[in-house]
Homo-oligomer: A and B are copies of this chain.
Amino acid sequence: MELWLYERPIFSEDQGWSYRIKIKKTLEDFKTPFQQLAVYESVEFGKVLTLDGVVQLTEHDEPHYHEMITHVPMMAHPNPEKILVIGGGDGGVIREVLKHPSVKEVHFAEIDEAVVTTCLKHFPNISCGLSDPRVIHRYTDGCAYTQQFENYFDVVIVDSTDPVGPAEVLFRESFFVDIKKAMKPEGIFVNQAENFAYKTHFETVKKLFEFLPNLFPNRGYYYTIVPTYPAGIIAFTFLSKGTDPYNFDIGNKSVPEGLRYYSPEMHKASFTLPRYAADAFATSNK
């Protein structure tokens, strides 16, 4: 018998592209209060976590994602001390955040506790930072949690699922307004923001960049390669009131050791988009 995991089309059943991952064994498959959660042992990518049928991470390529969503804002900020992480229940972002010695507190708002407990069990190399005493756990709605803060965070990272289901609210303008308020003037806000290479995602990103110029004078859009995501890449918005993503100076900061994907050269290169995408999104280097 052969088991294949088919990626569920995210936006509609009419989508014209999909992929499948060969599976050895199903390790978990159950309904949490928020979504269907499954963990598989795959043939080529190690263990795989899916939420509502969509691949969230594989052991093989999770550093591509976690290093780039984390170290780009953390290296661009001169002294990141107070961090807010929304989503990312697997703990991968927290693990990377804690590699920066300036960090004093990490607020971790994940709505679904079952994701965290499952990842502590099956992905110890990813969730290893969650027991660090600097991490403040809150199993709560990230939007409501953010509203309690004003002028507080140096770096905010939103590691969400796609903008359908529980994460839909994290792509609304009102949420970006709340984040802006919770950030310090020099703060940086990075969120998972689909990709430009796959048509259906492209339209979602275009909508984001319609309202972002009203909120943040500095806007960048950068990407990383993740073979097990649709179109093979995933991108992030880089938003700030004070730091220009296109004039990044690493200064005397040292890069965390042992990284697989991130380097200061990759940091810069990842903001260079194909011409059609650079033309379509109102990033601030235009």
Contacts and interface: CB of A to CB of B under 8 A. Distances in A.
Contact of A275 (B200, B225, B263, B276): B263
Contacts of A230: 227
A120 interface: no
A4 B16 CA distance: 9
B197 A232 contact: yes
Contact of A20 (B19, B259, B265): B19
Interface string A22-45: 100000000000000000001111
A64 B225 contact: no
Contacts of A262: 275
Most B-side CB within 10 Å, residue of A20, A45, A268: A20
A274 interface: yes
A22 B19 CA distance: 11
A237 interface: no
A261 interface: yes
A198 interface: yes
20 contacts: A15-B22, A15-B43, A17-B227, A17-B228, A18-B20, A18-B22, A19-B19, A61-B197, A64-B197, A197-B225, A197-B232, A198-B227, A225-B274, A260-B274, A261-B276, A263-B272, A263-B275, A263-B278, A266-B275, A268-B269
Given A15-B22, A225-B232, 12 more contacts: A15-B44, A16-B42, A17-B22, A17-B44, A18-B19, A20-B20, A197-B232, A229-B232, A261-B275, A263-B278, A265-B272, A266-B272
